[in-house]
Each structure stands twice: as C-alpha cells, then as structure tokens.
Amino acid sequence: MEKKKQEKEKQEKLSPKEFIKTVGWIFKTYYEISPSKTILLLITRILRDLRGLIYGVFFAKIIDQLIMVASSEAKDFRLMIPYLVALLLYYIFVSGLIGNIYQYSYRGLRQISRSRLEIIFAQQLNYLGVQNLENPDILNRINRASQWLQDTFMVLNDTVVFISNIVQVIVSGVVIFSFFPVMIPVLLGSMIIRFFPDQYFMKKDFHWQVDNSEKRRIAWSSIGAVQNASSLQEISIVGGYEFFKKKFDDCFTWFNNGMLKIFKEREVTNFFLSALDSIIGVVGYGVVFYNFVHGKFTMGTASFQMRALDTFAGSLDSMLASITFMNEFSVKMKDLIALFEMKPAVEDGNIKLPYLDTPPEIEFRNVSFKYPKAKKYVFKNLSFKIDSGEEVALVGHNGAGKTTIVKLLARIYSVTSGAILINGININDLSIDDWYKNLGVLFQEFNFYSHLSVKENIITGKPKEKVDEKKVIEAAKNADAHEFIMEYKNKYDQIMTEKVEGGIRPSSGQAQKIAIARFFYRNAPLAIFDEPTAAIDAVSEYKIFNRIYDFFDNKTVIIISHRFSTVRNADRIIVLDKGKVVEEGTHEELVKKDGIYSKSYKLQAEGYK
C-alpha cells in the first residue's frame, strides 16, 4: 500500500527537467509531422499577439495628431492621411494577413496531425507486441494515453502561446518600467500567488482520473457492448440493454460528479484571486491618469501606457494559465511518453533467416513457461520434436497448453526456461521479422476485416507482395469459398459489411472460410492451424482439411483441433495433458493404446451415432 502511494506521488510530480522533456517531445513530434506548419504556427502567433502593442503605437500617434489638427486654426485634415494609410496597411498585413497565416497553420497542423498521431500510436503498439498489450497495468496506461493523444496538440499550442506571452511581457515590461517600475514585481508576485492553487487543483484532477482508470475502462466496455452489432443481437433478445447502459451511466455519473466538484472548487478560488488582480490593475490605471492630469505626457502616450499595462497583466495571466495547463497535461503526457519509451517484452534476435525453401525442423527442448505475473506453470520441461515437412496434430483438453505452444512459436511470449530450436537455432536469436516471413498462423480467434473486400481480406496474407490474382482464386477454392464468393454481386471486390453502401454481411462460416483462404494464399514454410474450422459445417471442414494436408504436403504443419476427424490424417499426433506429452503416434497407433486419445476418440465417435 505504501509502495503504491509512493509511486502515485512520484507520478504526480513533474520536475522542470521532465516538463521540458515532455514539451520538447511533443514539439519534436509535431515538427516531424509538418516542419513548415509547426514553425509558421510559432512565428505567426508571436506576431499576431504583438498586434495590440503595435496598434497601440499607431493609435497613440493618431490621437495626438488628431488633437493637434483639431486644436489648430487651419484644421487641415490632409495631415491625417499618412496615418490613415498606415492604419490601413496595419489592418491588411499585420491584423489580416498574419492572422490568416496563423489560422491556416493552426487548422492545417491540427487536421493532418489527427490521422498521423493515430498512425504513430498504432506503430508503437505494434512495436510493443501482444505480450505487453495483455498486461492490465499497461492496458490502463494505453487507455489513458489514447485518451490524451489528441490533447498533445493543445499542449503544443499552449507552448506556442507561452513563448508568445514571454515576448509580450518583455516588450510591454520595457514600456511599464519607463513610467511605473514598481508595478512589474507586484504583477509578477500576483502571478506567483495564483500559481500554487492551480497546482493543487491540477493534482486533484490528475489523481481522480488516474485512480479511476480501470473503472472507466470497464465502463467503456459496457457501452461498447451495446454499440457492437454482434454483441447487441444477444443483448437485445435477453433485454440486457438497460443493464449495460446502467453500468456505464452509474460509473460516469459518479466519476463526473467528482470532476465537477474539483472544477467548482477551482473556479471559486480563482474568483477571489482574480479580484486581487483587478485591484492591482486599477492602481496602475490610477498612476497613468495622475501623470496625464499633471501634464507629464500626452493623451496618446497615456492610451499606449494603459494598453501596455493590459498587455503585461494579460500576458502574465495567460502565462500562468499556460504553465498550469502545460504542467497539468504534461503530467498526463508522462503516460504517453512512457508508453513510447517502452521496449517490447520479447527481445528481437540478430540472426538473419532467409525465406526457407525447405520447411523448418522444430524442437522444444526442456521448455518451461508461465505467463507474466502467473504463479502456475503451463508446462515444465516440455520436450518434443517436429521434423522438417512433418504434419503434426496437437490434441488435449482445454488448458493442456496447445495454444500456448503456438504463442511461443509466434514469439508473442518467450520461454521461461529451456529453448525452442528452429533448424537447430534458438528461436530467441532469430530476427523476428525474418522468422515471421516463414510463419503462417491461423488463430482460433481469426481476423476478419469487414471493411475490406473479399480479395483484400485474402491478400493481407502477403501484404508486401504483388497481388497474384490466380493464387487468390486458388486459395479461395482450397478454402471452399470460391463458389459462394462468385454468388456475391461484386464477386471478389465485395465489401464484407452491411455498414458500407453496397456491402453485405457474410455468415460466420463464410467469414472463417475467407480467413482460411488468406492462410492458403500466404503459403508459409511453417503452417499452424489453431482450431481453424469452429464455425464451418462438417462437409466443408472435411474438404478443407483434405486440401490442407495435400496443399501443405511439402511444409511443416501443426494442427490444433478437438475434432478427431481433422487430426486423424496427420503424420503424427501429440497428446498433451497438464502441460506434458503423454502420448504420441499415428491415429491408428493411439487408438490401439487405449489411452487418453483412444478414450476421447471413442467418446466423440459415440456422440455421432
């Protein structure tokens, strides 16, 4: 408990070095997205914010000249023409053009950064790997980081505003120093007084959000369930909509009430502090009025000094708001930056592996493994070997470790001890990208990209290679999918969701066959099938598996299935129980042994009678 408290206190604090690092990271990120628009944003913001002082100079001169012309006997208005021309040029170029360029750079950078940030974020998650993405603590961090990702633009803009305010404070401070120097430390002191309450409320805000990250993530899952077409079917039938809505609504009513309480306390405090600023400002005006009444300067100069006071006070106020805002969001951005500084849980190897012409040999040598944070081992000292080109089936009860073997081969996790050898080389030493070029895995929870066409769903099996139309059709035929694809209105160009105009919604079995077609199209030297036909009818399943055994005859194949009709034709069947190899052999050999496999096979066969 004490350790968590210390971690929380450390998390809420942001040293000046961390603050600069955070702001620098954000500025660098946006500069890489668009160098020209980022620089334009900074320069034009400074020039735009100096307009008030520039206008003040013009206006002071115009007032004095106007008073002089009005009080002269000639009253020659032509003397005002140069000032009017200067004022026109100011409105066109300083007030107009600079403002337009600023708005263009602001809106342009905001627009293009939205999509680019999502790509950058997705790239980092892909880099971190599945193991990190299954960690609850990291999931909470990802959830917070994704919420705050687009807020980086607000931090960037406030950094630009902050720099602009510094320039304004310096310029207006020089003017104020010339007639009322004591006002400068008074206004600075007022800003410092306001800084500490802002920091206090910022921490309360941050604590409330971070401490309740998991509650909100669970609540979002509830509302997500009623927004998803697949889950909504059952929810509607059982009348569960109100149940899920209430879980979401209750959580966020409670959470939002907490946030509103913090907002209220913050604004009440700010009201009294703002009153102090108002008193100081009026005192400054009084000094200007006094000097003018006593003839120390002209009306134009008095108006300029009042503008300088407003600019100085306003810039200090804006600086405080920017510092508070940037500090508040920079603390939140620590999660985002920490996420981008994370390394994959599975380290990459440095041994290059070419695309294998000969299918790989696989050996598990005394492999022990347990999932991160788990106490129980999935298996200990597991050993077996799969020869090059061998078609092997893994069978066993749920929890026997079959899918874990697939995850280890896919480098989603690393073994706790022991070694997995690929052609005699430790899999950990192989370049992951090179290994993946030789690997094809069809998971039980297969991917189906409904926003893509049939053909695009298939060719994602080899996304980096030129599309081979003939092999696309061949893959679909092997997956028993070509016939129903040709019945679609747009054939292989058919979009696979009814949520897009002209799209359709395939059945679960059709979607699974298209996913299997993608696997045939990939045609990797090592092919792994993890319960690939759960949604497919028995006749289609029989056809597909016959084609799998024929098509991948010259590959190393691993098949995981509970259906004995799909595994009986494998070269060898490995039976797993409680993380151990308890039996292995051909279907006929295992049936004769009258062991676990034989009993399970007979039990399943009995169910078909």
Residue 507: C-alpha distances to residues 205, 513, 538, 545 (Å): 47, 10, 16, 20
The domains of the chain, with CATH numbers, are 10-341 (1.20.1560.10), 355-438+526-537+556-609 (3.40.50.300), 446-523 (3.40.50.300)
Q: What is this structure's pTM?
A: 0.70
How many Cα atoms within 13 Å fall on the side-chain side of residue 545? 26
pLDDT value at residue 14 = 64
In order, the DSSP letters of 56-75 are HHHHHHHHHHHHHHHHSSS-
Residues 6+ apart with CB under 8 A from 514: 448, 454, 457, 458, 476, 479, 481, 485, 496, 506
Euclidean distance between CA atoms 200 and 328, whole angstroms:
10
Q: Are strands 580-585 and 526-530 parallel, antiparallel or unpaired?
A: unpaired
pLDDT value at residue 608 = 55
Burial class (CB in 10 A: 0-12, 13-18, 19+), 572: middle
DSSP H or E stretch at residue 507: none
- Helices 508-522 and 538-551: crossing angle in degrees, nearest 10, is 0
Q: Report which listed range, 18-22, 73-77, 107-111, 219-223, is most confident.
A: 107-111
Euclidean distance between CA atoms 354 and 376, whole angstroms:
37
pLDDT band for 308, please (50, 70, 90 cuts). confident
**Do you know the residue count of the chain?**
609
pLDDT in tens, 555-603: 999 999 877 878 888 999 999 998 899 999 999 999 998 888 888 888 8
Q: How many C-beta atoms surround the C-beta of residue 62 within 10 A? A: 17
CA 120 to mean position of chain CA atoms: 8
Helices and strands in the chain: count of H runs, count of E runs: 24, 10
How many Cα atoms within 13 Å fall on the side-chain side of residue 282? 6
pLDDT value at residue 39 = 95
pLDDT band for 2, please (50, 70, 90 cuts). very low
pLDDT in tens, 79-123: 878 878 887 887 788 778 888 999 999 999 999 999 999 999 999
- Across the beta sheet with 425-426, what order do the strands follow? 379-386, 362-369, 417-422, 425-426
Higher-pLDDT residue of 523 and 302 is 523
